[in-house]
Amino acid sequence: MRSAKFLLLLISLNVVSNIVIAAPPTCPAHLGGDCANGSGEWEGEFFPGIPKIKYEGPSSKNPLALSGIMLKRDSWKKMKDWMRFSVAFWHTFRGTGGDPFGAPTKMWPWEDGTNSLAMAKRRMRANFEFIEKLGVDRWCFHDKIIAPDGSSSLLMETNANLDEVVALAKELQGTKVRPLWGTAQLFHHPRYTHGGATSSELGVYLYAAAQVKKAMEVTHYLGGENYVFWGGREGYQSLLNTDMERELNHMARFLEAAAAYKKKIGFKAQEPTKHQYDWDAATAANFLRKYGLIDEFKLNIECNHATLSGHSCHHELETARINGLLGNIDANTGDPQIGWDTDQFMMDVAEATLVMLSVVKNGGLAPGGFNFDAKLRRESTDVEDIFIAHIAGMDTLARGLRNAAKLIEDGSLSELVRKRYQSFDSELGAQIEAGKGDFDLLEKKAIKWGEPTVASAKQELAEMIFQSAL
């Protein structure tokens, strides 16, 4: 296994330590020294020097402007229909720059060093100012990331805290902004050491169910379009001390109960997108098929994770698409020389073009979208770096969409593919594709045809066409 737990190794798991280590070590003077109880109010803007981000055209050198070339035939608005960008609350507002090797490095001025309810609300205000300045209209959240636990981990007190922050979020959302999705964080707390739905402890299974139930309710209340199941701890460390079959059965029971509850509360128009809960898209599909859940869930493909499991992101997207399961994309990328999730912002235009080719083939992602499940490098410590990174990520995908459009309009690539398979567009080919080609018939035809001709696959030509569109 590449991950601590092989099932449900997911997106953005690095967020988890934030609750503990999010706070800067000292109390900022500008908050009036009132850090102990976190009641210090924040006056004015959170991002005072940052303008509303605008599109300034492809030759702009302003790092605080968008330069991704718009489609000739399209307005920026139309481009947004393809993109459906979403800000990830955890990386953007709870990411601290801490890593297994080092302490937090982000000293955001609005943080007061606590995980209090007041701090949670101030942070939520910063989130909506950021969204407004960036010009997107979706956001994603985990329950534990937006509100603190109650004392003694009592569920009811914890849920009350969540309700209070969610009420503020609903107010700040206004009429235009909505969650792309919400989720429950079932991996950071020590109780989830052995997993949530697949924990060896019955009590943990119960707690996880209660937490997911609540997270589904608040996502629904906020007008969320999807609900995601994460599974960072659903797996195993060693088969020697694990009953894998029993754990998988428990996970299936858990998801069945969630699907039933979704219907009960009337989460109606939208399919809950299902996170990639396992090694790769095909493994997830096998699980859903085995337990009869294939129609209830879709997959949330994370590019960084695709490469960690030995696939290209494009392969995972196409595998999900062909299985009818492409629901959502985590728009991040890894480092080819690093063997773990680095969750960098995607800045490679070639990769973005391949991603957008799949998205266009899929007819878009709605009700899913692109979540910027990506974080600033630990060494990037200026407030403006948060904007720069998101802008570069948006521009990269915009360029990818433009290139995909160019390739599709040009048509050479799809023509090259069509020609390769044209022998199957014959009568005999159609018969085989309809399942009517038995071995006796095929042998007879093979003897008649003799040695078949085999054409060049023209791979270098295909790559040349692709590169020339970039």
**Active site amino acids:** 142
Nearer Cβ to its own copies (202/269): 202
Nearer Cβ to its own copies (75/467): 467
Neighbouring C-beta atoms of residue 160, cutoff 10 Å: 13
Of the candidates 29, 48, 72, 438, which one interacts with its own copies according to CB under 8 A? 438
Q: What is the SS3 assignment for 371?
A: strand
| Residue 61 structure tokens | 């050198």
Nearer Cβ to its own copies (127/323): 323
Q: What is the SS3 assignment for 222?
A: coil
The answer to whether 221 contacts its own copies (rule: CB under 8 A) is no
Part of the chain binding its own copies (CB under 8 A), chosen from 128-136, 172-180, 297-305, 446-454: 446-454
Nearer Cβ to its own copies (171/443): 443
DSSP conformation letters of 84-129? -EEEEHIIIII--S-BTTB------TT--S---HHHHHHHHHHHHH
The answer to whether 366 contacts its own copies (rule: CB under 8 A) is no
Distance CA(367)–CA(270), nearest Å, equals 7
Least distance CB 367 / its own copies (angstroms): 22
Of the candidates 355, 376, 394, 405, which one interacts with its own copies according to CB under 8 A? 376
Distance CA(103)–CA(21), nearest Å, equals 8
Part of the chain binding its own copies (CB under 8 A), chosen from 77-85, 115-123, 161-169, 382-390: 382-390
Region 13-42 residues binding its own copies, contact defined as CB under 8 A = 13-14, 16-17, 19-21
Per-residue binding string, its own copies, 235-274, x by CB under 8 A, is --xxxxxxxxxx-xxx--x--xxx-xx-------------
Alpha-carbon distances of 6 from 166, 191, 194, 240, 245, rounded to whole Å:
32, 18, 12, 14, 13
Going by the DSSP 8-state scheme, the letter that residue 237 receives in this structure is S
Of the candidates 42, 67, 162, 301, which one interacts with its own copies according to CB under 8 A? 67
Neighbouring C-beta atoms of residue 244, cutoff 10 Å: 13
Least distance CB 43 / its own copies (angstroms): 25
The answer to whether 43 contacts its own copies (rule: CB under 8 A) is no
Contact 173, 222 (CB under 8 A): yes
| Residue 417 structure tokens | 């593919």
The answer to whether 57 contacts its own copies (rule: CB under 8 A) is no
Part of the chain binding its own copies (CB under 8 A), chosen from 45-53, 165-173, 365-373, 448-456: 448-456
Q: For tokens 């297994």, what's the residue?
A: 100
Q: Which helix (H) or strand (E) holds 418?
A: helix 412-420
Going by the DSSP 8-state scheme, the letter that residue 66 receives in this structure is B
SS3 for 172-217 is HHCCCCEEEEEECCCCCCHHHCCCCCCCCCHHHHHHHHHHHHHHHH
Question: Which residues make Cβ contacts (< 8 Å) with residue 206, sequence separation at least 6?
Answer: none
Distance CA(163)–CA(214), nearest Å, equals 10
- Amino acid residing at 387: F
The answer to whether 450 contacts its own copies (rule: CB under 8 A) is yes
| Residue 432 structure tokens | 């085989």
Q: Count the residues in the chain.
A: 470
Of the candidates 87, 119, 228, 308, which one interacts with its own copies according to CB under 8 A? 308
Nearer Cβ to its own copies (177/401): 401
Distance CA(420)–CA(320), nearest Å, equals 23
The answer to whether 189 contacts its own copies (rule: CB under 8 A) is yes
Least distance CB 189 / its own copies (angstroms): 6
Part of the chain binding its own copies (CB under 8 A), chosen from 76-84, 125-133, 170-178, 191-199: 191-199
Region 86-145 residues binding its own copies, contact defined as CB under 8 A = 97-105
Nearer Cβ to its own copies (318/330): 318
Part of the chain binding its own copies (CB under 8 A), chosen from 86-94, 109-117, 168-176, 431-439: 431-439
Distance CA(433)–CA(131), nearest Å, equals 49
How many binding residues for its own copies (CB under 8 A)? 163
The answer to whether 456 contacts its own copies (rule: CB under 8 A) is yes
Of the candidates 34, 157, 335, 409, which one interacts with its own copies according to CB under 8 A? 335
The answer to whether 423 contacts its own copies (rule: CB under 8 A) is yes
Region 147-166 residues binding its own copies, contact defined as CB under 8 A = 152-156
What Rg value do the Cα atoms of the chain yield, rounded?
A: 24
Least distance CB 37 / its own copies (angstroms): 16
Distance CA(461)–CA(455), nearest Å, equals 14
The answer to whether 457 contacts its own copies (rule: CB under 8 A) is yes
